[in-house]
Amino acid sequence: MTTYFFSDTATLTGRTMRHVTRSADTVITTVITPVAMMLMFVYVFGGAIDTGSVPYVNYMLPGILLMTIASGVSYTAYRLFTDVKSGIFERFQSMPIARSGVLWAHVVTSLAANLISLVIVVGVALLMGFRSGAGVTAWLVAVGILLLFTLALTWLAVIPGLSASSVEGAGALAYPLIFLPFVSSAFVPTGTMPAPVRWFAENQPVTSIVDTIRGLFAEQPVGDDIGTALAWCVALLVVAYVFAMAAYRRKIG
pLDDT tens for residues 163-185? 877 777 777 777 788 888 899 99
> How far apart, in Å, are the Cα atoms of 186 and each of 21, 134, 176?
31, 19, 15
Kindly report, residue by residue over 119-174, the tens digit of the pLDDT.
Answer: 999 999 999 999 998 899 999 999 999 999 999 999 998 888 888 777 777 777 77
- Boundaries of domain holding 71: 2-252
H-type alpha helices, 87-204: 88-93, 101-127, 136-163, 167-171, 174-179, 195-202
> CB count, 10 Å around CB of 98?
18
Whether the full predicted model's pTM is greater than 0.85, yes or no, is yes
> Within a 10 A sphere around the Cβ of 29, how many other Cβ atoms?
15
Q: How far apart are CA 142 and CA 62, in angstroms?
A: 10
Q: What is the dihedral of CA 75, 33, 134, 55, to 10 degrees?
A: -160
CA distance 123 to 145: 19
Res 101 pLDDT > 90:
no
CA gap 63, 57 in Å, rounded: 10
Confidence of residue 195 (pLDDT cuts 50, 70, 90): very high
The domain tally of the chain equals: 1
Q: What is the mean pLDDT of residues 205-232?
A: 93
Question: How does the average pLDDT of the chain come out, rounded?
Answer: 85
Residues 6+ apart with CB under 8 A from 83: 89, 102, 106
pLDDT at 253 (0 to 100) = 63
pLDDT digits (tens, 9 = 90+) for 46-85: 777 877 788 899 999 999 999 999 888 888 888 888 877 7
pLDDT value for 5: 67
**41 DSSP assignment:** I
Whether the pLDDT of residue 206 is over 90: the answer is yes
